[in-house]
């Protein structure tokens, strides 16, 4: 398409972004689970006919950078028809980990093949598996829950009730799961209505032309970002504490090579995939790279597939950054993703010392609790607990915040206590946990929860053995700590564990602070 009007381009960029934001609002308001309704653990995006991401809402980074592979898996179905929706969560077919359930809707405009795809991904609080919450200390993916290849959950506008029944039969909380799945369906239908309004106003040819222009615009802007980084190769290495299955100090390595307007990010020297659940599929590594380079770009740069054109990503199959079937992956999405970001930022800090902050807390501090409420009804609760952001050139790190690859909110105390047999005894900043420096790291938090019924708790956290690093002379943030309090006695827990607890027991999670930046001037 010729004669791209820059004003029209900006208008359509904003309309596409608003479309995805409205999808998210519909999903949040109609979902059943606190994890989606309150914590907003979901993402929405629009894709063109080739499966390239055109627009995204400002949702969860680890979702958005990996979702194109889910759409690609849906594109692989040759039998798509108007009114269909494809459901999947298989990490080895475009997913990340099993609780992240993706719904893809093809949108037709009188042609044999779809002109667009709408997709949303939501983290379900349980999809089966060996422990409630579906984030177990697994050693193979079969232990982690129901694995769904790309299948039609909606056919010609009608939900496949037999398929839905099969899914619900394999989860601990079927009513909540059905509510969240139907909320995902409603979100995509909302997006389709808005997309049809755009196409009716502009015409299909013009709409697609401006989509291509937006992708080209994103690529040009990212080329400028890359060109502003000094040419050279920059390497950095950090460690994952352990894999939850006995292997400790797992190296995560990154080398960034800049040549003019092109960058190559190489994770091929990361540790081999591990027996435990901290393996990441390649989609997660792509997400980390997309996220970090998007941070370097001006705010007005659209977050679309064009941004990745100047950036090559190298991984080696069989490593923690590109694991192969049937490796366990439950923690790779939430923990290894954070360390991939840490090492990529650490490498870029050598090239851009006055732009890159110190390490943030480096963990999503995952907590799942499952059991039976006093009335006998099964429950499964999941959340991530905030930590401290790294201090940076512009100032101190934020305290008590979800950092990097997660962009969720906390579960409000009132919502948590209403929905589950739990009581929050303490929720406060962990004062002094941020690293020292000219600009201090942000503080983590302390969260203490009392169990009102017997349950099983699973923790998957990092930075309990290795501290978040400081930069430019700043000190590290404090490491995290977990403990169980029973009959007034504290028992220290490892960063990754799964334990049975009694009514009256208390779990205390103390999350890491961010690293400090710069030498303090006293």
Residue partners of 508: CB distance under 8 A and separation at least 6:
426, 446, 447, 448, 482, 483, 484, 485, 490
Local confidence band at 158 (pLDDT 50, 70, 90 cut-offs): very high
Q: Is the pLDDT of residue 60 over 80?
A: no
**Digit-coded pLDDT (tens) for 94-141:** 889 999 999 999 999 988 899 999 999 999 999 999 999 999 999 999
User: How would you classify the pairing of strands 455-460 and 496-501?
Assistant: antiparallel
Determine the Cα angle at 14 with ends 13 and 17, to 5°. Answer: 90
Q: Would you place residue 5 in the very low, low, confident or very high pLDDT band (cuts 50, 70, 90)?
A: confident
Separation of first and last alpha carbons in the chain: 60
- Overall average pLDDT of the 178-193 stretch: 98
For the whole prediction, is pTM greater than 0.85?
A: yes
Res 2 pLDDT > 80 = no
Which parts of 242-371 fold into alpha helices (H)? 282-296, 337-351
Secondary structure of residue 41 in the 3-state scheme = coil
Query: Is the CB of residue 127 less than 8 Å from the CB of residue 133?
Result: no
CA atoms within 13 A of residue 206's CA, in its CB half-sphere: 12
**Residue 1 pLDDT > 70, yes or no?**
no
How far is 84 from 58, CA to CA, in rounded Å? 26
pLDDT-above-70 percentage for the chain: 99
pLDDT at 416: 92
Confidence of residue 474 (pLDDT cuts 50, 70, 90): very high
Give per-residue pLDDT as tens, 366-420.
999 999 988 889 999 999 999 999 999 999 999 999 999 988 888 899 999 999 9
Name the residue with higher pLDDT: 296 or 300. Answer: 296
Across the chain, mean pLDDT equals: 95
Instruction: Give how far Cα 232 sits from Cα of 29, 238, 263, 345, Å.
Output: 48, 20, 10, 15
Please give the pLDDT value at position 232.
Answer: 98
Q: Could you give the percent of the chain with pLDDT greater than 90?
A: 88
- The residue whose two tokens read 């999903």 is 27
């Amino acid at each position: 398409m010729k004669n791209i009007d820059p004003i029209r381009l900006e208008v359509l960029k904003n309309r596409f972004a608003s479309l995805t934001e409205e999808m998210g609002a519909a999903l949040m308001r109609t979902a059943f689970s606190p994890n989606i309704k309150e914590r907003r653990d979901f993402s929405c995006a629009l894709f063109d006919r080739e499966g390239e991401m055109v627009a995204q809402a400002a949702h969860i980074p680890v979702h958005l950078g990996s979702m194109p592979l889910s759409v690609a898996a849906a594109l692989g179905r040759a039998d798509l028809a108007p009114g269909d929706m494809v459901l999947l969560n298989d990490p080895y077919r475009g997913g990340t980990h099993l609780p992240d359930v993706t719904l893809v809707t093809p949108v037709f405009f009188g042609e044999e093949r779809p002109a667009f795809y709408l997709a949303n991904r939501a983290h379900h609080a349980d999809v089966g598996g060996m422990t409630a919450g579906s984030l177990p200390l697994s050693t193979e993916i079969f232990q982690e829950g129901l694995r769904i290849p790309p299948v039609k959950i909606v056919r010609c506008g009608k939900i496949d009730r037999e398929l839905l029944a099969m899914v619900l039969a394999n989860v601990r909380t079927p009513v909540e799961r059905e509510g969240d799945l139907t909320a995902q369906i409603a979100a995509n239908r909302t997006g389709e209505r808005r997309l049809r309004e755009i196409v009716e106003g502009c015409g299909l040819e013009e709409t697609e032309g401006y989509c291509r222009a937006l992708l080209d615009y994103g690529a040009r802007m990212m080329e400028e970002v890359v060109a502003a980084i000094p040419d050279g190769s920059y390497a950095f290495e950090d460690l994952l504490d352990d894999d939850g299955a006995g292997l400790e100090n797992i190296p995560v390595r990154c080398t960034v090579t800049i040549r003019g307007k092109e960058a190559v990010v190489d994770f091929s020297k990361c540790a081999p995939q591990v027996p435990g659940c901290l393996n990441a599929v390649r989609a997660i590594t792509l997400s980390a790279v997309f996220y970090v380079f998007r941070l370097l770009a001006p705010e007005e740069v659209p977050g679309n597939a064009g941004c990745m054109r100047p950036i090559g990503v190298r991984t080696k199959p069989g490593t923690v950054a590109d694991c192969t079937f049937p490796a366990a992956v439950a923690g790779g999405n939430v923990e290894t993703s954070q360390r991939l970001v840490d090492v990529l930022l650490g490498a870029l800090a050598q090239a851009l010392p006055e732009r890159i902050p110190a390490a943030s807390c480096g963990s999503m501090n995952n907590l799942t609790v499952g059991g039976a409420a006093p009335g006998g009804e099964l429950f499964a609760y999941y959340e991530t607990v905030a930590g401290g952001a790294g201090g940076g050139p512009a100032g101190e790190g934020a305290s008590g915040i979800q950092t990097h690859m997660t962009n969720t909110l906390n579960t409000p105390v009132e919502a948590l206590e209403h929905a589950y047999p739990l009581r929050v005894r303490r929720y406060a900043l962990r004062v002094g946990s941020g690293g020292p420096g000219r600009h201090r790291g942000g503080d983590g938090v302390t969260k203490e929860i009392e169990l009102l019924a017997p349950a099983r708790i699973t923790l998957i956290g990092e930075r309990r053995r290795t501290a978040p690093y400081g930069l430019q002379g700043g000190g590290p943030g404090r490491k995290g700590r977990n403990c169980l309090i029973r009959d007034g006695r504290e028992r220290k827990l490892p960063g990754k564990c799964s334990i049975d607890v009694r009514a009256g027991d208390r779990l205390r999670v103390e999350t890491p602070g961010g690293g400090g930046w710069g030498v303090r001037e006293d």
